[in-house]
Amino acid sequence: MIKLKLKLKLILGVSLFISFSFLSVFCNAQSFDRSLKSLSNQFKSGDYSKVVSRLSVLKSSEELEDLYLYLKAESLKNLKRHEEAISIYEELIEKHPQSEITKQCHMPLFLLKLLKADEINVSSLEAMALKLPSNWQSGNALEKLHNLDFLKSGKRSRFALQALRRYTRGATFFRQSPAARELIKSIWKNADRYEYLELEWHEILKITAAEDMLNEIFDRKAPIPVAVTEKVDSTLLELYKAAWLCKTKRHNEGIKTYTNLINNQSVLPEIRENALQQRGDAYHFANLHKEAVDDYKRVLKNRHPASDLLAAEYRMMRSLFELKKDSECIATIQNLIKGKKAGSLLPAQIYDMGLKCYDNKDFNRASSYFMLFSENYIGHYRADDALGYTALGGKGKTEAGKLALNKLKSNYTNSFFLWWNEPSVAKANVKHKNVKINSLSKETLKKINRMKKLWGTDFMHFAQAEANILTEKYPRNFGLFKTLIDLASSHDDYQSVCGFGERLARQMIESGKSLDQMPLWAWKAMYPLAFEKEVRTSSEKFAIDPYWVLAIMREESHFRIDIKSRSNAISLMQILPTTGKWIATKLGEKRFKESMLWEPKTNIEYGSWYLRYLYDMFNKEMILASAAYNGGQGNISRKVEAIYPKLSVLERIDKVPMTETRDYYKKVMGSYYMYKRLYK
């Protein structure tokens, strides 16, 4: 009996010990999850010792282990405890290779290892640089390697060229790589420090030309470096000098040089083919489109490996358009679409050609381009614009006009153009569909649980990035979208709420489904009642429509509080500091500071006052006031009202010469009507 009691006590003791151990681990994990805000504050304030000290007694939860390791590694790095930081970074990368947090750790790890670079480990650093997750990171790392003092000329040259290749990797003729510019300058300024073969110098010349930096070679008093002239055939330098002449508007000189190179049979075939294509470009930009088309056709027929066939086809397309050879132009477009290498520029080009025809009142010609656009890019943000202009040009009578209007009604029920063509739509209820909310997999729920812990913290951007990946991986998954929208809404993250709504709508359209099949909650996510209290207070104060304020805010910032534009416009309503100061004087605010514009209440109040001011200035025409909010009151007065006073409001505002403003007022008014249809 005594032995039995002892056994029971022993079992009880062991059980309690195990229970307390698990409880301790659980509490530590939970306390790490609950401590994110305070840890973040300490990290941001630079109290890295405190962060490391606290992390040493906290155990991470499974969902947030990568964040735990990230904070620890970053803090150790900032404390200059480099070896410890390297160890933690490597642990993080090994344990969580696919994490969004991990993607931000590769470069810091490389930079720490670079501090101890020597002739022995430089090759391993090169291999590490080449494996970095983005082309920019690889290029930047290789450029830093090339700057190491102990390198010999051969390795320095190799690292520099590899860096240029990474910076420009995947680049097309219409997209430059700004990150490469400083390295290009360095190479040409210090050319004698580099050892390249002729083919490598040719590659560098080609990259220099693509970055529009030939002035670094030809527009200077010093002669071309000997290191280049000794290695490079003189005809190659002539080729790029001709390109520089054309860039500096000396087309006749450039074209003459190209022609001499093309006709000289002793010149290498590669250089002659490059000269042929570049002469086509020179003709194209000099508006000699017939000559340009002839050269581009030869380039495309020859299909030489040295030629940029995509660039030739693109520019031939535009030259054919300028020559009004629409059947050939459209055939070229279709060929580009079929090749699936056209990139993001092609839809913009097709739309631009259609709009040029429309503005010239050549509506039949415009409809050919607009309808081609809408058929091939149904999820593009300009698809409804293309259909809308086709419907307007046909006035609902032509076959193309009728078809475009029907497509607008069925697929783009939130388009401003639908209201423009049929004003009664603005008062109609939004059609929607009750959908089944499907259950989520265990794996997805696990990821959602992680996002819940991150949302609302300073690490929310990691959760947002992971959510975006998830919604692209599982398109039109109503259960997933509803869960994420509810999660973002619970933290007043209206930017994400709106973004999820827009993504779901795009996925619906791209799958061939009408937006009428969207659930009501998804519509309201696209057009959320963001900062409702502040909006209603300000709109009542200045007697303006609250849905107009929301529409302006939606298109200005997409409800992002911390956004600042390149022109220095601040936060939700994108108010310039100078405008804010002026508004403050009008409101009697004597202690105005720029920092006040970051406060949602003040930003919305000032933006609402300005809307009322513009509304009165433009005789209570909301469309004109909206355009003025973007393009400036002076521009709308001088370039629209003064020139086209006899046209209707919509006809004259669509003649505004600023492309951004021409798009902007349509977006704002489209959002305004949707808000009214959903909530009023």
C-alpha closest to that of 275 among 252, 248, 241? 241
**Do residues 403 and 371 touch, judged by C-beta distance below 8 A?**
yes
Neighbours of 582 (CB within 10 A): 14
**Do residues 579 and 513 touch, judged by C-beta distance below 8 A?**
no
How would residue 29 be classed by pLDDT, with cut points 50, 70 and 90? low
C-alpha closest to that of 445 among 153, 113, 129, 63? 63
C-alpha closest to that of 65 among 487, 441, 446? 446
For 475-486, the three-class secondary structure string (H helix, E strand, C coil) is CCCHHHHHHHHH
Q: Report how far residue 420's alpha carbon sits from residue 396's, in angstroms, rounded to the nearest whole number.
A: 12
Q: Report how far residue 667's alpha carbon sits from residue 660's, in angstroms, rounded to the nearest whole number.
A: 11
pLDDT in tens, 374-428: 999 999 999 999 999 999 998 867 899 999 999 999 889 999 999 999 898 878 8
3-class SS shares of the chain: helix, strand, coil, % to 5: 70, 0, 30
> How many Cα atoms within 13 Å fall on the side-chain side of residue 347?
17
How would residue 233 be classed by pLDDT, with cut points 50, 70 and 90? very high
Residue 270 has what pLDDT? 94
What's the CATH architecture for 2-114? Alpha Horseshoe (1.25)
Average pLDDT of the chain? 93
Residue 175 has what pLDDT? 82
Q: Report how far residue 27's alpha carbon sits from residue 31's, in angstroms, rounded to the nearest whole number.
A: 6
Q: Is pLDDT above 60 for 635?
A: yes
Domain 163-339 is found in CATH 1.25.40? yes
Residue 343 has what pLDDT? 82
pLDDT, mean of residues 498-526: 96
Residue 599 has what pLDDT? 98
**Do residues 638 and 680 touch, judged by C-beta distance below 8 A?**
no
- The interaxial angle of helices 153-167 and 198-210, nearest 10 deg, is 40
Q: Which of 35-39, 98-102, 219-223, 452-456 has the lowest mean pLDDT?
A: 219-223
Q: Report how far residue 461's alpha carbon sits from residue 482's, in angstroms, rounded to the nearest whole number.
A: 19
| Amino acid present at 356 | K
**Do residues 554 and 524 touch, judged by C-beta distance below 8 A?**
no
Q: Is pLDDT above 50 for 24?
A: no
Report CA dihedral (155, 160, 163, 164) to the nearest 10 degrees.
-140
**Chain centre to alpha carbon of residue 300:** 32
Q: Is pLDDT above 80 for 67?
A: yes
Question: Would 163-339 and 535-679 be classified into the same CATH topology?
Answer: no
Q: Give the CATH number of domain 535-679.
A: 1.10.530.10
* Residue-wise burial string across 284-301, b where 16 or more C-beta atoms lie within 10 A, e elsewhere: bebebbebbbebbebbbe
For the chain, percent of residues with pLDDT exceeding 90 = 87
Phi then psi for residue 512, to 5 deg, are 85, 15
Collapsing DSSP states into helix, strand and coil, what is residue 287?
A: coil
Does pTM top 0.85 for this prediction?
yes
Q: Is pLDDT above 70 for 8?
A: no
How would residue 653 be classed by pLDDT, with cut points 50, 70 and 90? very high
Residue 356 has what pLDDT? 98
pLDDT, mean of residues 79-106: 96
Residue 551 has what pLDDT? 99
Q: Is pLDDT above 50 for 22?
A: no
Q: Report how far residue 651's alpha carbon sits from residue 477's, in angstroms, rounded to the nearest whole number.
A: 41
Residue 14 has what pLDDT? 46
Q: Report how far residue 289's alpha carbon sits from residue 273's, in angstroms, rounded to the nearest whole number.
A: 19
Residue 80 has what pLDDT? 98
CA angle 156, 159, 162 (to 5 degrees): 150
pLDDT, mean of residues 318-330: 98
The CATH number corresponding to 345-412 among 1.10.150.530, 1.25.40.10, 3.10.20.440, 3.40.50.620 equals 1.25.40.10
pLDDT in tens, 173-183: 888 899 999 99
**Do residues 348 and 380 touch, judged by C-beta distance below 8 A?**
no
pLDDT in tens, 419-433: 999 898 878 899 999
Residue 222 has what pLDDT? 77
Domain ranges of the chain: 2-114, 163-339, 345-412, 442-526, 535-679
**Do residues 91 and 66 touch, judged by C-beta distance below 8 A?**
no
Collapsing DSSP states into helix, strand and coil, what is residue 615?
A: helix
